Structures are given as C-alpha cells and as structure tokens.
Structure 1
Amino acid sequence: MLPMFADQGPNARLMAVRKVGLQVARDEDDGSFDHHGIVSAVRTVMVEEGTRRVFVTNALKMHEIVADEELHERYLDEFIHQLRSFTIDGSLSTAAALTCS
C-alpha cells in the first residue's frame, strides 16, 4: 500500500496489522517511496507463496464482512435506534430536539 494522504497512513497500518495488505517501505528522511521498496512489496505479496496465501485468505475474510450489505444495514438501523433512544432533560428525544431547533 502506498499511503499518501492524511487518513491513508493509519488505514494502511491497520491493513498491514490485519495482514490484508503490506505497506511499501519509505525513506526515513523524507518519507518517499523508491523502486526497490515497491518491487519488494509486490514480490512479497504476489510471488512468495506462503505470504501470498496469508494475504489472500485474510482479504477474502475481510471481503465477506465489507461486502455484506445486510450486516451494514442492520448496524445502521441499530445505530439510528440508539440515537433516537437518547433524551434531553428526560423529555425530548434527540430526533424531536433536532426538529425543534
């Protein structure tokens, strides 16, 4: 992974920890990528059979979760239900408070 913008660094580190991706090594002085680092990362993930198998297996597991629309709809519905259950001063729900302001 080649993180270049603000949120991509933490996301890339998380993917590396979960072994669904591999961060490309950066120059310690200026943070740049070089040809050797990119080639090394691609070779590790695509060519080395043992490592490749781990990344493919973990990526497939993650895909099952990320692609599960019903799961995410349920999470959103439960989150909205929780938000609506909160009250202000014990009387107005947040939905009512938002429409009043």
Structure 2
Amino acid sequence: MTPAMLLVTIRGRVQGVGYRAWIEHQATSARLEGWVRNRRDGSVEALFAGPARAVADLVALCRHGPPAARVTEVLTEPAVADQLDLRHPGERFSVLPTV
C-alpha cells in the first residue's frame, strides 16, 4: 500500500457541530495517523497520514461530515512529515488547540 499524507481544510458550518470529534473517530477507525484542529477563521484543519486509499476515503467523508455540519469546501494539499509532529506525544491521532 502506498502511503499518503494530506493537509485538509474544511469550510462551511463545521465548528460547534462535533466535526473534530467526528474526524477523530473516523481517522482512528481507519487506523490513520494525524491531527485535527479548529481555525479562528471558522474552518477545520486536519492532517491525515496512512495508506493512500484510507486517506482518500476519509477526505471523501469530510465532504459531508457529521449530521449537523454543512460543508461548503474541502481543500487538500500535500503535507510534510514535520507537520505530523504537531500531534501530542504518544498519540496516533490528536485533537489540537485552535489556531
């Protein structure tokens, strides 16, 4: 399996609707590594690392999100290994503070 690492920005009504917890659950279930956090501009940002197919599947799920979310845009860009180091020590997937 080819590994992939993507930085994903999700826009719309994605804060205050459980989006970060939903992403954490989805990523953990898919055995992906990475992190998720709110941004002050109202978006949610996440980094997903793992098998390319599993990363692509989670990005596709992000286009819908949890039931109360209303996603208007999902942007992806390649991530670098240093970005993965933002996780909390010892965690495969972290929920990070707002930036």
TM range (shorter): under 0.3
Larger Rg: 1
Flag the structure with higher helix content: 1
Q: Which has the higher contact order (CA 8 A, sep 6+)?
A: 2
User: What is the TM-score of this pair, normalised by structure 2?
Assistant: 0.25
User: What is the TM-score of this pair, normalised by structure 1?
Assistant: 0.24
Flag the structure with higher strand content: 2
